């Protein structure tokens, strides 16, 4: 998309006026604009991918100049505020950007077909010397909504990564492990890290081993990379949509 359109719409006044985005820290907002820039070059457009593959923790940290240990809190702020969504494969995406891409594709298709599809697909005018002319129901040009504001149109699935922003009793409350395995992990890594990465995790017994179910591909990749040593050797780390 960026090759055809090296720019995207951005309204500073609306960015600053958006209550959800303003509830996030300056660092989280900075991370989001960096993520938007990555998603503008991504395939599919508007998704947090590089070369068509989901961005890993290490890649996101490198591309945005963020320390890997800072990412969970910053992403948690954006997720809690409803800034981004997560698709069925666990990939973060921008709702506004994906809508814009769809609209652009439709516009290009209509242009190749020779114009407005509403006019092209309409029935032939009835034979009449004085056909009735009906004014449009909603005359005028509808204003475009910028990235920050239009992200609120749809409530995204929750990853429940704790926010680093304002005090939230639900987030500050202790997370009770759902299995002895996770209880042991909590003792090893502490309450803060456990709440960051395992608040919505679940464990499934698979024969001699276990499967750890995690709410996003991003979290799965981070947990497997940084916390594998705290689990039995035969543990499988799996993203499962129902955990979000």
Parse the chain into domains and list their residue ranges: 1-120+146-173, 174-243
The pLDDT assigned to 156 comes to: 44
Six-digit token pair at 201?
């995790």
The domain 174-243 belongs to what CATH superfamily?
Answer: DnaA, N-terminal domain (3.30.300.180)
Question: Looking at the chain, how many residues does it have?
Answer: 244
Q: What is the pLDDT of residues 58-96, one digit of tens each?
A: 889 889 998 888 888 888 888 888 888 888 888 899 988
% residues pLDDT > 90 (the chain): 12
Give the pLDDT of residue 147: 52
Nearest to 198 by CA among 187, 209, 210, 213: 213
172 token code pair: 């500050």
pLDDT at 141: 47
Which pLDDT value is given to residue 31? Answer: 94
Tokens at 23, concatenated: 């509830």
Complete DSSP assignment for 195-217: HHHHTT-EEEEETTEEEEEES-H
> Which residue numbers in the chain have pLDDT < 50?
122, 124, 126-131, 133, 141, 146, 149-150, 153-172, 244
pTM of the model: 0.53
- The CA angle 18-23-25, to the nearest 5 degrees, is 115
Burial environment of residue 218 by CB neighbours within 10 A (0 to 12, 13 to 18, 19 or more): buried
């Amino acid at each position: 998309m960026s090759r055809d359109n090296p720019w995207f719409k951005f309204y500073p006044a609306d960015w600053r006026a958006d209550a959800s985005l303003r509830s996030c820290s300056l660092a989280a907002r900075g991370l989001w604009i960096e993520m938007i820039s990555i998603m503008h070059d991504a395939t599919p457009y508007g998704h947090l991918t590089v070369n068509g593959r989901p961005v890993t923790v290490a890649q996101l940290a490198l591309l945005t100049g963020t320390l890997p240990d800072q990412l969970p809190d910053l992403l948690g702020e954006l997720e809690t505020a409803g800034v981004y969504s997560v698709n069925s494969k666990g990939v973060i995406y921008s709702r506004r950007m994906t809508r814009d891409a769809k609209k652009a594709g439709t516009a290009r298709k209509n242009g190749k077909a020779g114009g407005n599809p509403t006019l092209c697909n309409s029935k032939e005018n009835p034979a009449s010397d004085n056909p009735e002319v009906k004014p449009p129901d909603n005359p005028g040009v509808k204003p475009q909504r910028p990235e920050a504001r239009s992200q609120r149109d749809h409530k995204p699935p929750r990853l429940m990564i704790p926010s680093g922003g304002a005090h939230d009793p639900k987030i500050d409350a202790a997370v009770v492990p759902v299995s002895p395995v996770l209880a042991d992990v909590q003792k090893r890594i502490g309450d803060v890290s456990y709440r960051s990465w395992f608040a919505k995790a679940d464990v499934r017994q698979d024969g001699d081993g276990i499967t750890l179910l995690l709410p996003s591909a991003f979290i799965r990749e981070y947990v497997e990379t940084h916390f594998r040593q705290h689990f039995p050797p035969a543990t499988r780390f799996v993203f499962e949509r129902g955990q979000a």
